[in-house]
């Protein structure tokens, strides 16, 4: 038999498919105003961990550290709101103390006033640094905090308290500014996570009652009036409206919703009233999953940051060793005086400290993750932001990715005179109702449009890459491609082949239906008919591919399980460089691996279910439609939260901009260290200037990374 479509393509799973389109026949929507339960944007910008907890999501530990791990120079910036307020206040006190000590020096005031000022500057300016340094020592480590504290104490020992006070003031100030920069990227994500209402109006015992969302169970129905935030994920069972999904999917235009459409918690209802049946518990909703994924993404470090973290400890030890050599060598070998040698060594230690180097990566990566999430693109970790920047080849799945994925049943050819078209459609729809495949959904929808009653199905089975089978009214029904019938002798094969050939010439996807009667033992199965389906290319697919080429993508390919004729038509319309048809899910992995071996970094874009192996095999796996697909969020490295291909060029450009920012930050940080160390050794750069250069470079790289927050999709 000729090429048939791959009607399952690995998507089906044994088990019932929820009846998302059936309306319960119960109470009418009340035509009276109901008090809304919404939250302001200020309330929505609460702490992300608390937000995750309120949705039943366990937040991941920051930076992968356990509570017992030492709090590093960077980790302290992610502490609580109160800690940062106190730290900011300590910075102000340190500045006042430093200024008081300096004025006392100028005006020769009472020494008690002088030392009171410098004492306050040392105490409050070095408080958090000393705590961090001691915490590191307890864990047998050294860090940047310890270097700064030692340098300040050294300045005090040689009679330069102002330089030490200035160092601690600027060091603590840079910490606060770094927290502000990192906090901006985190709050930008938090602003996306607009809290859904804490309660929902549920229909119980003939009345609409307000209950907490944690008590709502799957199958309950809730009511949303114009302006309401939807409390939970569900399916519309009554009413029509438009819903603003921008906080979840990044879509700029409200989406029309009617009976049978899926809606998501946290989105905002427009001008109509909707009655919605709950399909997921509060802790399983799309917004709850997104919160968890973003929290985990923030805690997953980029590869550059991991390298810096591994080198930080030996580097700091090296700086301490260099400082000791800078003290001992001139005194012991050259006979120089202690005070100027010690002063130069302290200056050297400040200049060589890697504060800017440590902050350069997280400042940029967290800002990129925040900017992407705000535009409906979820990077599941900093490492994927960096990997995305290296991609030069993109491979697409066809159905649901390049095409709309909303196939419709166009033809139903009956091959058995003893059965009508409606009867055949009812039988195959009964079996397909148990499948998650897009062709199965099209079949069931066609049956519903004709008000056909579906029959119970026993012994349902999905065969990856072949089709589905199930028993209906004692008859075993087979629906699939040629691989499903390859080893079975089925009567009526010639008629089926002729029908398939004709439909395939029309660039339609064809599947064959056969049955095996339960009361005819020993009789071979017989073909009942052929069903044909059609899908259309996304309206912006060709434009997206052109844009990908314009930003440096060298090759675009399409991989599909569909037949050669359909694949040829779609590939030509989309203008891809090459395509592969009739590919089984497992074979997609081999193709992706081949592309990686031939071209280097490869991104694979799919809908996240049958494409899961290929998503994992690619350098970067990108899933479409993450708002409604559980597997997409679990398998992909990057998720386009709305079904919008135009976000793909944006994600690529953002990742490349991030890489350029990382390179600039690292080059600037290392350059400043080299310039300051060289200046100290050659012209005796003063400690205050080294402090300004050190802390100034730290703040500058933080702010440079923060610029990525302004990166927007085209």
- Active-site positions? 397
Could you give the CA distance from residue 265 to residue 85 in angstroms, rounded to a whole number?
33
**Pairing label, strands 234-239, 262-263:** antiparallel
Could you give the CA distance from residue 292 to residue 353 in angstroms, rounded to a whole number?
35
Could you give the CA distance from residue 356 to residue 601 in angstroms, rounded to a whole number?
30
Residues 434/444, Cβ–Cβ less than 8 Å: no
The helix/strand/coil state of 118 is: helix
Kindly state the DSSP code that residue 227 receives in the 8-state scheme. Answer: T
Kindly report the CA angle at 11 between 412 and 237, in degrees rounded to 5? 75
Rounded (10°) CA dihedral 455, 460, 463, 467:
-10
**Pairing label, strands 234-239, 377-379:** unpaired
- How many CB atoms within 10 Å of residue 38? 13
Closest by Cα among 664, 651, 560 to 607: 560
Structure tokens at 244: 């603003």
Pure H helices in 575-611 = 585-599
Residues 242/255, Cβ–Cβ less than 8 Å: yes
- The dihedral of CA 335, 337, 343, 346: what is its sign? positive
Could you give the CA distance from residue 87 to residue 168 in angstroms, rounded to a whole number?
12
Closest by Cα among 492, 496, 438, 490 to 468: 438
Structure tokens at 52: 């995750």
Pure H helices in 300-374 = 303-334, 338-352, 355-374
The helix/strand/coil state of 420 is: coil
Could you give the CA distance from residue 259 to residue 247 in angstroms, rounded to a whole number?
22
Could you give the CA distance from residue 573 to residue 576 in angstroms, rounded to a whole number?
8
Q: Please list the residues that pair with 277 across neighbouring strands.
A: 221, 235
- Strands (E) across 163-267 are located at 199-204, 207-212, 221-224, 234-239, 241-244, 255-257, 262-263
Residues 399/608, Cβ–Cβ less than 8 Å: no
Kindly state the DSSP code that residue 217 receives in the 8-state scheme. Answer: -
Closest by Cα among 160, 85, 170, 169 to 121: 169
Could you give the CA distance from residue 243 to residue 318 in angstroms, rounded to a whole number?
58
**Which H or E run contains 533?**
strand 526-534
The contacts of residue 671 (CB under 8 Å, 6+ apart) are none
């Amino acid at each position: 038999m000729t090429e048939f479509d791959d009607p399952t393509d690995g998507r089906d799973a044994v088990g019932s498919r929820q009846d998302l389109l059936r309306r319960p026949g119960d109470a009418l929507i009340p035509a009276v105003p109901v008090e809304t339960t919404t939250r302001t944007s200020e309330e929505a910008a609460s702490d992300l961990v608390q937000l995750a907890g309120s949705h039943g999501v366990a937040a991941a530990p920051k930076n992968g550290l356990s509570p017992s791990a030492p709090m590093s120079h960077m980790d302290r910036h992610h502490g609580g709101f109160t800690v940062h307020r106190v730290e900011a206040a300590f910075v102000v006190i340190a500045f006042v103390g430093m200024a008081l000590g300096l004025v006392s020096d100028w005006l020769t005031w009472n020494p008690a006033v002088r030392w009171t000022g410098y004492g306050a500057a040392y105490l409050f300016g070095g408080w958090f640094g000393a705590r961090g340094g001691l915490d590191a020592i307890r864990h047998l480590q050294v860090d940047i905090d310890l270097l700064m504290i030692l340098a300040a104490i050294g300045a005090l020992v040689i009679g330069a308290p102002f330089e030490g006070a200035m160092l601690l003031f600027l060091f603590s100030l840079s910490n606060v500014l770094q927290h502000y920069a990192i906090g901006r990227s985190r709050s930008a994500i938090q602003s996306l996570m607009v809290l859904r209402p804490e309660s929902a109006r549920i229909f119980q015992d003939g009345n609409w009652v307000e209950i907490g969302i944690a008590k709502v169970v799957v199958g309950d129905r809730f009511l949303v009036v114009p302006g309401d935030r939807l409390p939970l994920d569900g399916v519309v069972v009554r009413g029509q409206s438009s819903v603003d999904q921008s906080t979840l999917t990044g879509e700029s235009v409200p989406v029309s919703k009617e009976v049978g459409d899926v809606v998501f918690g946290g989105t905002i209802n427009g001008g109509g009233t909707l009655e919605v049946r709950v399909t997921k518990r509060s802790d399983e909703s799309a917004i709850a999953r997104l919160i968890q994924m973003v929290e985990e993404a923030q805690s997953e470090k980029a590869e550059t940051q991991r390298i810096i973290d591994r080198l930080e400890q030996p580097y700091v030890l090296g700086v301490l060793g260099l400082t000791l050599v800078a003290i001992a060598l001139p005194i012991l070998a050259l006979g120089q005086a202690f005070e100027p040698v010690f002063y130069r060594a302290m200056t050297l230690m400040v200049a060589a400290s890697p504060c800017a180097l440590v902050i350069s990566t997280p400042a940029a990566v967290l800002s990129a993750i925040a900017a992407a999430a705000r535009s409906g693109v979820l990077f599941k970790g900093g490492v994927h932001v960096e990997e995305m920047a290296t991609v030069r080849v993109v491979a697409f799945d066809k159905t649901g990715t390049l095409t709309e994925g909303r196939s419709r049943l166009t033809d139903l050819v009956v091959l058995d005179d003893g059965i009508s078209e409606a009867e055949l459609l009812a039988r195959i729809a009964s079996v397909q109702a148990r499948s998650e495949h897009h062709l199965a959904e099209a079949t069931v929808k066609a049956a519903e449009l004709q008000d056909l009653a579906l029959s119970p199905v026993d012994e349902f089975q999905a065969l990856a890459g072949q089709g589905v089978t199930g028993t209906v009214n004692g008859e075993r029904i087979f629906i699939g491609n040629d691989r499903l019938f390859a080893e079975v002798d089925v009567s009526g094969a010639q008629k089926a082949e002729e029908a398939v050939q004709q439909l395939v010439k029309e660039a339609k996807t064809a599947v064959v239906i056969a049955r095996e009667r339960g009361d005819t033992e020993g009789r071979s199965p017989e073909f009942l008919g052929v069903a044909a389906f059609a899908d259309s290319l996304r309206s912006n697919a060709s434009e997206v591919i052109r844009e990908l080429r314009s930003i440096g993508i060298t090759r675009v390919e399409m991989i599909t399980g569909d037949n050669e004729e359909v694949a040829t038509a779609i590939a030509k319309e989309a203008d891809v460089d090459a395509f592969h048809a009739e590919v089984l899910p497992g074979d997609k992995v081999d193709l992706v691996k081949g592309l990686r071996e031939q071209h280097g970094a490869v991104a694979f874009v799919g809908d996240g279910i049958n494409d899961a192996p290929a998503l994992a095999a690619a350098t970067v796996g990108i899933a479409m439609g993450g708002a409604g697909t559980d597997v997409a969020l679990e398998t992909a490295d990057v998720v386009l939260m709305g079904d919008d291909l135009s976000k793909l060029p944006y994600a690529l450009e953002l990742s490349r901009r991030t890489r350029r920012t990382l390179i600039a930050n690292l080059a600037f940080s290392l350059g400043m260290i080299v310039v300051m160390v060289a200046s100290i050794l050659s012209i005796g750069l003063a400690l205050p200037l080294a402090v300004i250069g050190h802390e100034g470079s730290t703040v500058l790289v933080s702010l440079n990374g923060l610029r990525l927050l302004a990166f927007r999709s085209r």
